[in-house]
Amino acid sequence: MNKLQKDCTYPLDYWQLDNSKQQEIDKLCPVEKNNLKFDFAGLYKFIYKAPVILYNGKDFQLTLGMFKNIQDNQNIQNNEDKQDNDVESGFTIYGGDIFLSIVRNNIVEDQIFLADNHIYLADYAVDYQRYFISQEGEVYTLYLAEVEEGIFPMLWKHYKIDNKKMKFVLQDMLLNTIVGVQYQIIYPNQFNVISNQPATKIDSQELKSCEDEYDKEEYHSCYIDVYNHYNNRLKQKINLLNKKNNTIKKSYSKLQQNMASDCLMLSPPVSGNTDIDPYLSKVMFCLIQNYKQEITNIEKQLAH
């Protein structure tokens, strides 16, 4: 994700350069149209009438379909107005969702969103998602936003298939929200902040203001400062408690993982279009509340 963000950010004078210079810069970005080939027209033509079987095993099948369920694909075939779905005539479908399904005995057991074409975000941005399926059956998706400044990776996800439970199991995610900060989630119990920005100390007034205005449906840049504040306070309190108590030591890493496991039970974002901010806001709010409660518990122990 860091390398993609670095290689796919345009220089400040990009739009003033001639076409040949822009193409040289484009080649540096692995997901640019000149490098990573993703033939949506061919893919849509391949799957839009009915799901296509990618894997036909003894116990289940993996199918690739254009809409969320088999019935939707059947409806396309029965639709008298073919204008919006006539892929064979060369019509380009924008925003056509592509799903991967686990099918057993003709029943869809589980399904994940893999990819789509450009989705209009605003006058200055579009977004889209790409995917890769390894030979081992592991699934990777990457959601990107394309703006004037370049192409930015926003959400990376990694799945494995549990062929006993017939489920796609999300293993880990990377989320980007603000420049220089990533959130790494490794299931079931790891939440890590990866930052190349200098740590900023939030004062008490800013802390109160940000907490008072905390919105679980949006993400604001001050949230990371509030999170770091209580995370650091928790570490300090644990150190003080461990110095006081020489027999039983409290482990920050174990405690943090226990708290994270509760918060990571929230449903992960399906894609990056509207899902990342509310998800991240809710997870961080959950962790902050857990940190504050544990800090209070430790302070009571220190008082005795």
Contact call for residues 174 and 183 (beta carbons, < 8 A) = yes
Q: What whole-number distance in Å separates Cα of residue 177 and Cα of residue 182? A: 7
Tens-digit pLDDT profile for residues 65-111: 876 544 444 444 444 344 344 555 555 555 568 899 999 999 999 99
Kindly report the number of other CB atoms within 10 A of residue 53's CB atom: 11
Domain range list for the chain: 2-176, 204-303
State the average pLDDT over residues 268-279.
Answer: 80
Q: Decide which of 275 and 225 is more confident.
A: 225
Contact call for residues 129 and 272 (beta carbons, < 8 A) = yes
Decide: pTM greater than 0.95: no
H/E stretch holding 222:
helix 222-244
Tens-digit pLDDT profile for residues 207-256: 999 888 887 777 888 889 999 999 999 999 999 999 888 777 889 999 99
